Amino acid sequence: MLRYTLMRLGIFVGCLVVVWALVHSGLVPRGLGDSNGLWIVLLALLISAPISFVVLRGERDRASERIVRRVERAKANLEANRTQEDAADDTARAQGQTSGQTPGQAQAS
């Protein structure tokens, strides 16, 4: 996930530099008043989002597969722990029932 995030950040920074150059060269209009910096950032975000979506599709799929595997592994570990706890609880109850009987109850059973 870190790799995907860094790649996406790199695409954004590249778009930011290109948009900044276009605005300062006059090819793209400047923002209103003091909003020039915000205009450049928003325009770079708007351009980098679809580029990241298309270019990083494979990396995003790999990252999501890794996350799914980790979640499934965590679920399996939780289920194994629950099963062990249930088995230990059943064993403790069974031992408690057999050791808690009086001699007369054990013969009647």
pLDDT 10s digits, 7-26: 999 999 999 999 999 888 88
Q: Comparing 28 with 19, which gets the higher pLDDT?
A: 19
Q: Rounded to an integer, what distance in angstroms lies between the CA atom of residue 9 and that of residue 16?
A: 10
104 pLDDT more than 80: no
Q: Which residue has the tokens 């920074």?
A: 13
Residues 6+ apart with CB under 8 A from 20: 40, 44
pTM score of the predicted model? 0.59
Q: Categorise residue 55: left if φ over 0, alpha if ψ from -120 to 50, beta otherwise.
A: alpha
Look over the chain and give the mean of its residue pLDDT values, rounded to a whole number. Answer: 82
Instruction: Give percent of the chain with pLDDT exceeding 70.
Output: 81
Q: Comparing 95 with 61, which gets the higher pLDDT?
A: 61
Between the alpha carbon of residue 50 and those of residues 15, 31, 47, 70, the distances in Å are 11, 22, 6, 28
